[in-house]
Structure 1
Amino acid sequence: MAHTIQGKKQLLTRVRRIKGQAEGLERALNAETECLAILQQIAAIRGAVNGLMAEVLEGHIRTHLGAHDISETQRDNDMEAVVAALRSYLK
């Protein structure tokens, strides 16, 4: 997973931002904040998670599937793993 190690600082920054947004959502719910504000916070969290997924997925595809030094069998196995992860994410 060299691509996640190289981008570790950026990824952790994104995760911490998501964590802060989730904590803000929890506070808003506890404070019985207006529905629209709650919906906006949920949408912001979803967008942040989607951005994180896209960044990690792109790195994985470029590093593992785009590598020139892997066998066709390994590429097929990696492709199936990516498809399974995408299916799970999109459920």
Structure 2
Amino acid sequence: MAHITNDPTKLIARIRRLQGQLDAVARSLENKAPCGDVLQLVASIRGAVNGLTIELMEEHVRNHVVNPDREDDPEKAKGATDLIAVLRTYLK
């Protein structure tokens, strides 16, 4: 996956935050936190995973399918832009 981004620093930082969120769920369960609190933590993890997923998918589209910023064919560029927008909406 390293080929999909020139600077993996941002992605690695996201993953480290996810690890921290998972650790927080484990601590909450160990400390018998209220169910609502644990569910809120899990929901935040789901959002973070979706954010990471869309970043990876967008990079994949731009690097392996069509980069709308460099595509000469306006229809293909629009198709790639539309696909990225749909993915963002779907994973929101």
- Is TM more than 0.5 here? yes
- Give the TM-score normalised by structure 1: 0.69
**Structure 1 stretches (4+) deviating beyond 2 angstroms?**
1-4
User: 2 CA distance for matches of 1:2 and 1:42?
Assistant: 30
Match for residue 58 of structure 2?
Answer: 58
Alignment of 1:30-69 (within 5 A): 30-66=30-66
Shift of 1:3: 2.5
Structure 2, gaps ≥5 residues long = 71-92
Higher helix share: 1
Structure 1, gaps ≥5 residues long = 69-91
Shift of 1:15: 0.2
Shift of 1:50: 0.5
Match for residue 2 of structure 1?
Answer: 3
Relative CO higher for 1 or 2, CA cutoff 8 Å, sep ≥ 6? 1
User: 1 CA distance for matches of 2:60 and 2:10?
Assistant: 15
Aligned residue identity for 1:62: R
Match for residue 79 of structure 2?
Answer: none
Aligned-residue sequence identity (percent) comes to 39
